[in-house]
Amino acid sequence: MNSSSESHMADRQAYVGTATQRMEGALIYYEAMAYKASELVLRSPIEGQVVSLYLNRLVGAYVPPNTELVQVADTRDLIILIPIAEQDVGKIEAGDPIKARWVATGKIFHTQLDSTPVRKAKMDDYFQAMYATFGGPAPQQMQLPNFQPEKTEPTDPNSQLYPIFIAEARVPAQAWIHVEPQMRVRLTIQGKSTTIGKKLSSWWQDIRRKN
């Protein structure tokens, strides 16, 4: 082996040695970052419970700044959105007492109507995906005029109530409220009601009086 070959071999060995050192350094850095990530603490701007977790779908992906990792909700003061037919809006008003029951737990709570709608809801007010995901409409923002938002009393932090829970509510008024089948919140207005039999009887009595 001539001097040229020996020099070339020495250069190769030096290159391999340098590459090995860099790889070992990168591995040490990776292990340090992995340990740091395992100790990472996510701080929420509000106190509450995690209701949605997006970390699983972000594994192995580049996460840009301001990416939503988890969704946290304050479950101590929940808002119920109640669907109501347009013809029944005039029969209720803010401040009406409400008795409701959580369908999941059966717990009864009392509250009052916080606001009433100012216009009929439009299709732009809804997330189309909510029909397929939850079986009913949902507000695009926290204000949806076709719904009556009502605040519950502060709940027990150990009650495990979540924003997606369903409640049955009753509002005192003079008619039955109409609820579409696909809506998740079931609402009944307490008060006078009439059946088709009563209507037919009244109609027949009116005819007899006229004759």
pLDDT score, position 166:
55
SS3 170: strand
Which pairs with CB-CB distance under 8 Å and at least 24 residues apart come from 53-60?
A: none
The mean per-residue pLDDT over the stretch 8-29 comes to 82
Whether the pLDDT of residue 207 is over 50: the answer is: yes
The mean per-residue pLDDT over the stretch 146-169 comes to 49
CA distance 194 to 129: 37
pLDDT score, position 123:
56
Half-sphere exposure of 9 (CA within 13 A, CB side): 6
pLDDT tens digit sequence for 157-166: 555 555 555 5
Higher pLDDT, 7 or 132: 7
pLDDT score, position 39:
67
Whether the pLDDT of residue 127 is over 50: the answer is: no
**Strand 186-190, strand 79-83: pairing:** unpaired
- Least confident span in 87-91, 159-163, 172-176: 172-176
**Cβ neighbours of residue 209 closer than 8 Å, sequence gap 6 or more:** none
Contact 169, 103 (CB under 8 A): no
CATH for 75-190? 2.40.30.170
